[in-house]
Structure 1
Amino acid sequence: MKTVAVLGGGIGGLAASYYLCKSPQVTKVIVLESSSRFGGWLWSTRRSDGAVFEHGPRGIRPTGAVGRNTLNMVDDLGLAGDVLPVTYSHVASKNRYLYVNKQLHRMPSGISGLLRTVPPFSRPILWSVGMEILVKKSKEDDESIHSFVSRRLGKELADIAVDSLCRGVFAGDCRKLSVRSCFPVLYNAEQRRGSLALGMLLGSGPSPVVPARPLAQRSAKESWAQWSLRRGVESLPESITGFLQKSSRVELHRHAVVKQICPSASGWKIHLEDGAVSADHIISALPAKALSSTLPSSCQPLIQELQDIATVTVAVVNLEYDGSILPVMGFGHLVPSSEDRSLLGIVYDSVPFPEHNKPNGHTTRLTVMMGGAWFQEDFGDPETVKEEHLLQRATEAVQTHLGVTSVPSWSWVALERDCIPQYYLGHHRRVDSMRTFIKKKNLSLSLIGSSYDGVSVNDVIFSGRTAVEELLGAGV
């Protein structure tokens, strides 16, 4: 193995480069990022007074093999001392709300909450879970999340709780999203155990083996529900970038827009706006549509599959208010599409991560998320929408939902265009088809990132690791 080009300098591309850099099999790693910064959607604003605001992911889950893998990387990079953990016993973990019928409702938690009828639900959630064991297993190879949950747990949970959850995680419509690709644990639980409850109790299939290093061991011992970093989650890509800059085998290029990639005798020739680079192998962390526009015409079936992966745009509005303005304490609240299609939810950032508040003076930080699958419907073309309109819509939501009458002392509007891929029905077949085409044509190409195998930070990092292991294991 001589030279590997990594297309895209978001967290997926940086993670792949990090794992490549650790192998003596690789002579050179060339990272090509089209923008002025590395880190992609992991983007933090650090104000001069010490306050930190997240414009993308704000908390990372430590659970499972992929969660341990990220914590192991954080440990290796020397960031363990900067971790801000939130335990399961924390109020932000115990209190999560839904905004239904113009009221905030705390989601049931604990045995007592599951046993009682808690608004906005008309019966105890444990009743739905108990009856679920009697539901027959589906013979379909995929199903929408809404259909799956309606069939197994009832339409009410699907319409309210799961609809809201999918808007919070994917900014998407649970009636279109694939349960197999978005929530593989649920799909596998039904397929292998015949029941979600049994799948949760007995396990729903094998998972990757990732040993827990000290930080991951600590997270398990202390029961972390999520974590961030003292200077924001952008510290993670910044630390990886710093690690890569110290390696004589890595070339990092900003403002490097990939125009076209063409097969060559040794692998690929990658054409940029101002020149070209050669590589034996390409790891693409580009969004699916961006990659599709660079491929040669000989890859037409792959190009079509890539173009068929849809994305949504999300408006993220950070707000800071003077004093304590929240009527409730918790992580935040989500809004089902039946209540307000364009308002996805509000995160109470100061509750899980008070360390990100400015140290002098008491303030409350909130993030309002809007649009997603409903962006065009409510706000029109993302190219023409005005920041003032998004800010007004966000502050009105805070006033209506939380009863906050004061004006924010600071705000930031970020329009995240095409930020979350949508795994619609049959997504798994599309991804399998793409990788089969690559294998059959013997293309020196790996696909990683949120377009394919999971949209979470952990999933994207792990996809980079998996691609590198497959590449080096193959000895290509």
Structure 2
Amino acid sequence: MSTVAVLGGGIGGLGAAYYLSKCPQVTKVIVLESSGRFGGWLWSTRRPDGAVFEHGPRGIRPAGAVGRNTLNMVEDLGLADEILPVTYSHVASKNRYLYVNKQLHRMPSGLGGVVRTVPPFTRPLLLNIAMEILKKRGKEEDESIHSFVSRRLGQELADIAIDSLCRGVFAGDCRMLSVRSCFPILFNSEQSKGSIVLGMLLGSGGGPVVPPGRLAQRSAKESWAQWSLIRGVQSLPEALTEFLQQSGRVQLHRDEAVTKIRPSGSGWTIHLEDGVLTADHIISALPAKALSLALPSSCQPIIEQLQDISTVTVAVVNLEYQGSILPVTDRGLLGVVYDSVPFPEHNRPEGHTTRLTVMMGGAWFQEAFGDAESVSEETLLARATEAVQTHLGVTSAPSWSRVIVQRDCIPQYYLGHHRKVESMRSFIKKNNLSLSLIGSSYDGVSVNDVIFSGRTAVEELLGTKF
């Protein structure tokens, strides 16, 4: 295979190019990014005084095969010495709070939190766990996350904990999101072992196998819960970009929006705003709707399914306060992250400060703020500072702030999402299209999932294993 074009220069596209660059079968890799920067949602502000603020993912989890895969990549890129790990014993891992009935409640943790009744719950969680093992296996092909957890662990847990979890991870409504697509480990545990608990204890079988490198081995030995990098998570796409530039076989193009792609012989003709190029194969890391606009009419079945994958918009408000200020809710509020607790290294070195990030909107953006194009930064900042004051009792004004509206940033996997993805890939295979679909629109929204989708696509394309 001579030339592979990667559409989209976010972490998924860069990840795919990274794996392609390691395959001698590919002569040339072309990465096309429509914006002026690579990295997509991995975006960090680094102030001159040393403070770092994240506008997208702020911590990456090392668990599982996909987590080990990312750590192996980080090690290969020479970033191991820049890792900032947070262990499960760290206060940031143990202290998580829910805002229920106008009060902050610490989430139960440890054995004591499971065997005792801890507000806002009305009975010990151990009872829910014990009863879960006795529940019958579900018969539905797919189910909402709320329905699944209610059936297996009780409605209270679904209403309080799972609702908050889905707001934080997907910025979405757990009553609409698919458990099979969003939390496949829970779905597969029930299907293979008849129980979430047994599946988690015994393993649900299947899944990728990724041997751990030295860094991944260290994360397991030290029991990391998450990690970041000294200069923020944007360091990862920056290191990937530098690696690809030095590979000699990867061409990186910023400000190159793809307008149309057309079949041409055994490959594709790719139309840009100011030119045309050809490729033997395309790996698309574009958002689903963006790809739907570029495909030819002969791909109408895929176009319709791509356009049916919804996304949500999230307002990310970074706040900095002087001193130490730290000791459902507003439907528009997704959560408040105490950034200074897990990663104090990102505070400015001089003077004592507290960094928070307030995330708002998601599935409720339109309801809470109206049109994302017209809402003002002042409105979002006022709402964020009001939430911090109401929920955390912070009366002082922030000394610094930044408001970013991340439009259409998180795909929503509604019921039947897995069928859409299977159908699209079946159409591609049946029609011998030299096209691979990767990224958060299909197989998982986390950084680890998106990177691994790029690896999987390259392995399937070239019949190789990394």
Q: What TM-score do the two structures reach when normalised by structure 1? A: 0.97
1:209, 1:203 → 2: CA distance? 13
In the alignment, is the contact (CA less than 8 A) between 1:420 and 1:450 conserved in 2? yes
Tell me which amino acid in the other structure corresponds to 1:232. Answer: G
* Cα distance in 1 between the residues matched to 2:47 and 2:276: 38
Deviation, 1:121, is: 0.5
Q: What's 1:11 paired with?
A: 11
Residues 197-232 of structure 1 show CA distances to partners (whole Å, capped at 9, x for unaligned) of 111111112221111111001000100000000000
> 1:288 aligns to what?
288
CA contact (8 A) 2:320 2:356 kept: yes
Say whether residues 1:460 and 2:450 are aligned partners.
yes
- CA distance in structure 2 between the aligned counterparts of 1:74 and 1:134, rounded to whole angstroms: 42
Which position in structure 2 is the counterpart of 1:35? 35
Cα-Cα RMSD: 0.9
Number of the residue aligned with 2:202: 202
Percent of aligned pairs sharing the same letter: 81
CA distance in 1, matches of 2:180, 2:249: 39
Total equivalences in the alignment: 465
Hey, what's the Cα distance between the residues in 2 that align with 1:266 and 1:116? 64
Q: Which residue identity is paired with 1:360?
A: E
1:442 aligned onto 2:432: yes
Are 1:270 and 2:260 an aligned pair?
Answer: no
Please give the secondary structure, in 2, of the residue aligned with 1:86.
strand
Task: Give a deviation string over 1:454-473, Cα, whole Å, max 9, x none.
Answer: 00000000000000000011
Match of 1:391 among 369, 381, 390: 381
> Does the 8 Å CA contact 1:312/1:421 hold for their aligned counterparts?
yes
CA distance in 2, matches of 1:391, 1:71: 35
- Cα distance per residue 1:131-188 (max 9 Å; x no partner): 1111111111100000000111111100010000000000000000000000001001
Counterparts of 1:69 and 1:197 in 2: how far apart (Å)?
Answer: 26
> What amino acid sits opposite 2:418 in the alignment?
H
Q: Distance in 2 between matches of 1:200 and 1:246?
A: 42
Cα distance in 2 between the residues matched to 1:29 and 1:444: 15
Do structure 1's residue 403 and structure 2's residue 393 form an aligned pair? yes
Contact 1:283/1:448, CA 8 A, preserved across alignment: yes
Aligned twin of 2:246 = 246
What one-letter code is carried by the residue in structure 2 that aligns with 1:236? L
Structure 1 position 72 matched with structure 2 position 72: yes
Counterparts of residues 292-331 of structure 1 (less than 5 Å): 292-327=292-327
Pairwise CA distance, 1:474:
8.0
Corresponding position: 1:191 with 2:191: yes
What's the CA shift string for 1:45-91, capped at 9, x where partnerless?
00000000000000000010000000000000000000000001100
Q: Deviations over 1:379-401 (max 9, x none)?
A: 00101010000000000000001
Segments of structure 2 that go 5 or more residues without pairing to the other structure are none
CA distance in 1, matches of 2:65, 2:281: 27
Q: CA deviation at 1:265?
A: 1.4
In the alignment, which residue of structure 1 is the partner of 2:366?
A: 376
1:224 is aligned to 224
Q: Which runs of 5+ in 1 are unaligned?
A: 328-337
C-alpha deviation, 1:437, in angstroms: 0.3
Do the aligned residues in 2 keep the contact of 1:312 with 1:420 (CA within 8 Å)? yes
Instruction: State how far apart, in whole Å, the 2-side matches of 1:440 and 1:305 are.
Output: 16
* Aligned partner letter, 1:66: V
Q: Specify the alignment match of 2:356 in structure 1.
A: 366
* Matching residue of 1:56: 56
- Counterpart of 1:428 in structure 2 is 418
The equivalent of 1:152 in structure 2 is 152
**SS of alignment partner, residue 167 of structure 2:** helix
What is the match of residue 407 of structure 2?
A: 417
Match in the other structure for 1:330? none
Residue type of the alignment partner of 1:113:
G
Contact 1:266 1:279 in 2 (8 A): no
CA–CA distance in 2 between the matches of 1:206 and 1:192? Answer: 10
Q: Secondary structure at the match of 2:359?
A: strand
| Alpha-carbon separation, structure 2, partners of 1:393 and 1:86 | 30
Offset of residue 266 of structure 1: 3.6
